[in-house]
Amino acid sequence: MDPLPPFHDDLEAALTEIWRLLEAGPVLRRNAFHMPALATVDAAGQPQVRTVVLRAADRASGALRFHCDRRSDKAVEIAATGVAALHGYDSDAKIQIRASGPARLHTDDALAEAAWAESRAMSRVCYGADPAPGAVLPTGGAYALPDAETALTTGRPNFCAVVVEVARLEFLFLDRRGHRRAAWMRADGWRGCWLAP
């Protein structure tokens, strides 16, 4: 049987492992945190969840970033509530991560410009989709995407980068020798504690 990982009974090591996995998410396509689930609350108070691609994670600032269409329900929900949560489970590492906190849409600032500039042409065309995401269609294919050149002008106004400033982090590590669950709150650094799994 494999030895227990160093973070099994070490809160600081567990926090480091969480951020290592999150920071690897944007670059490692096979990492479970490349495509976390994003949870929001809609105008009726109902939970909503869907997959997004994690574009950036930064332990120093505690920020997670993904991109979406500002016309989408998720963007509207984040603008209205100012909060979001992300979740991922890595079945190889047997680690679940939950992250939540204030979330903000960046549409016209330097952060949004930089995020748009680093987006691939095939991603940019999605932001020029007509009609807007979530619109009811008469048939499944009754929508249009611009070509890459046109997307530069029609897609950009709909593009937004969303930054979640993680305020609460939680991990669950599954091991038959003893599961481990811990949570951290951010206030002048991270304050963590073990939780009953």
Ligand X SMILES: Cc1cc2nc3c(=O)[nH]c(=O)nc-3n(C[C@H](O)[C@H](O)[C@H](O)COP(=O)(O)O)c2cc1C
- Which of these segments, 24-32, 47-55, 93-101, 151-159, binds ligand X (CB under 6 A)? 47-55
Determine if 52 is a binding residue for ligand X (CB under 6 A): yes
Contacting range for ligand X; rule: CB under 6 A; set: 70-78, 101-109, 173-181, 184-192 = 70-78
Counting contacts by CB under 6 A, is residue 51 touching ligand X? Answer: yes
- Least gap, CB of 98 to ligand X (angstroms): 18
Tell me the closest approach of the beta carbon of residue 177 to ligand X, in angstroms: 34
Give the H or E element holding residue 150: helix 148-154
* SS3 letters across 28-94: CCCCHHHCCEEEEECCCCCEEEEECCEEEEECCCCEEEEEEECCCHHHHHHHHHCEEEEEEEECCCC
Residue 123-162 contact track with ligand X, rule CB under 6 A, x = bound: ----------xx----------------------------
Contact 194, 173 (CB under 8 A): no
User: At which residue do the structure tokens 């567990």 appear?
Assistant: 14
Is-contact 84 168, C-beta < 8 A? no
Binding site for ligand X (CB under 6 A): 35, 48, 50-53, 66-69, 72-74, 133-134
